[in-house]
Amino acid sequence: MPSRPVAQALPRYVVLPNCIRYAPRQYPNVYVSLDGSFEEYLNGFSCKSRATLRRKVRRMAQLSGGTIEWREFSGSAEMAEFQLAARGVAAKTFQERLFRGALPATAEFLDEMKSLADRDNVRAYLLYLKRRPIAYLYFPARNGVLLYSFLGHDPEYNEFSPGTVLLYLALESLFQERKFRLLNFGQGGMQQKQQFSTGKVYCADIYFLRRNLRNVLLVSAHVFTNAVSRSAGEVLEKLKVKRTFKRLLRYGSS
């Protein structure tokens, strides 16, 4: 049961009469409610955050010669063009270099995008600079909720925050369209998600396994491994080197 809303934190694992319930990941799931207008949404930001966002949009406009070039993709016939252009950006991102977590390049994924588009269940976006794609977003939809699935930007333009600018423009368009209820960011943590979200629900990834000795041992080993990993992170945090370590992981593979 992935991303299952829960009223409170669950025990990590419990041996029940007929199964083992294991909840290794528990986290706030953050989202943007797309009710109301875009201006009302922006008014929920602090004055400083609102001014910072608008300054980033203005800087991108200045860099682009006065007008930001961007595009929304939603039709089936547009998906191949989006995938090709987005992959040009994705290949440069740390998500691709570290764990192949960027937008897939496969024919199977293209077929999936087209199938979603045929049902009007996908929105995708590209930000351009001098006709060259520099950022992308990909949101499939389920039951009126868009999922924040794939994103990336060209690291050459980090100082201009192209991903933030594109998300700002995409949200403005979604508020105007009024088709979808929510944009679900998923697990919180990224500063961008926290900045743009309007609410959160506490969730858990829950597994049910047959009750036997093998599964008890496997779950216990997984709990132990996760505990060691958390402890290592806490030590790095206390030593004030965790952020440096993460940057080394992010850029060291380039």
Give CA–CA dist 170/214, Å, rounded.
Answer: 48
Tens digits of residue pLDDT in 197-240: 999 999 999 999 999 999 989 998 888 887 777 666 666 566 66
The more confident residue out of 187 and 5 is 5
Q: 7-11: which pairs have CB atoms within 8 A and are 24 or more residues apart?
A: 7/202, 8/202, 9/202, 10/204, 10/206
Structure confidence at residue 188 as a pLDDT band (50, 70, 90): low
pLDDT of 95 higher than 80:
no
Give all domains of the chain, ordered by start, each with its CATH number.
4-25+205-251 (no CATH), 36-180 (3.40.630.30)
Structure confidence at residue 59 as a pLDDT band (50, 70, 90): very high
